Structure 1
Amino acid sequence: MRHLVSAAFGALLLAGCAAVPAPMASPPPPPPAKPSFTNVGLERVMGQNAAALRQLFGEPDAEVTEGTGRKLQFSSGICVLDTYLYPKEGGGVPVVTYLDARQRDGRSIDRASCVAALTRRTGGR
């Protein structure tokens, strides 16, 4: 009987060591979507130099130069447009490679809408 009790006790001890399957975990949530920026509607600005921007929008409201980069800022009652000009590889005249737009209070606005509003501001030359 003693062997039977020992065997039962050993079986219980071994049963406690058995692997228990982990509960099914739900897949992690997808990362948040990054805002997509397209150049649709920006054809009149992208790749243009400072002289072309002045012709299109008039004199900039602000101008900042850092190293080889240059920022020209244009604004209207609707929005503020920051254009960033850099020379192409190998030098040359700086041209718009990126632009950003916001409403006057800092809220987001579509970049092409801001370009259109600024163009109307000067008569759309």
Structure 2
Amino acid sequence: MRRLTPALVMVLAACSTIPKTTPIPVATKPSPRPSGELVGLTVHDLGQRFGQPQFQVQEGPGTKLQWAGGGCVLDVYLYPPASGQGAVRVTYADARRPSGADIDVRSCLSLMGR
């Protein structure tokens, strides 16, 4: 029995170790996804095309603008240039159905009539 005790303690100790985890990196910008013709547009360009956004929020250095219509919701993210000089521009756009289901940006633009 004495011989089993140290072995049993070591087995139990090995089972109780906490696994090391890798921290999840926090992104400052959404990861790039195809968003078609909207990338590179300014706030002025978007206003000319879609009118006043229904929702606007500052998220760190970026701005999120949102429009909805035709059965879809369009989210557009604008960030300043890396140089810090010049107008903020669209770097990412995403679309979804009001239910939350994914839809591609081009289909959403078509549904919105834009």
Normalization by structure 1: what TM-score?
Answer: 0.60
User: What is the aligned partner in structure 2 of residue 98 from structure 1?
Assistant: 92
Which amino acid counterpart does residue 96 of structure 2 have in structure 1? R
Q: Which of 55, 64, 71 matches 2:64? A: 71
**1:81-115, Cα deviation, whole Å (9 max, x unpaired):** 00000011112211000011000111111111112
**1:62-83, Cα deviation, whole Å (9 max, x unpaired):** 0001232000001003100000
Which amino acid counterpart does residue 102 of structure 1 have in structure 2? R
1:58 to partner: Cα distance: 1.0
C-alpha contact (below 8 Å) 1:80/1:114 kept by paired residues: yes
User: What is the aligned partner in structure 1 of residue 21 from structure 2?
Assistant: none
Higher relative contact order (CA 8 A, sep 6+): 2
Q: Which of 89, 110, 113 matches 1:116? A: 110
Gaps of 5+ in 2: 1-32
**1:27-53, Cα deviation, whole Å (9 max, x unpaired):** xxxxxxxxxx434xx21x110011110
Structure (1 or 2) with the larger CA radius of gyration = 1
Give the number of equivalent residue pairs: 82
After superposition, the CA RMSD in angstroms is 1.7
| SS at 2:49 equivalent | helix
Percent identity over the alignment is 44
Normalization by structure 2: what TM-score?
Answer: 0.65
Structure 1 segments (4+ residues) deviating >6 Å: none
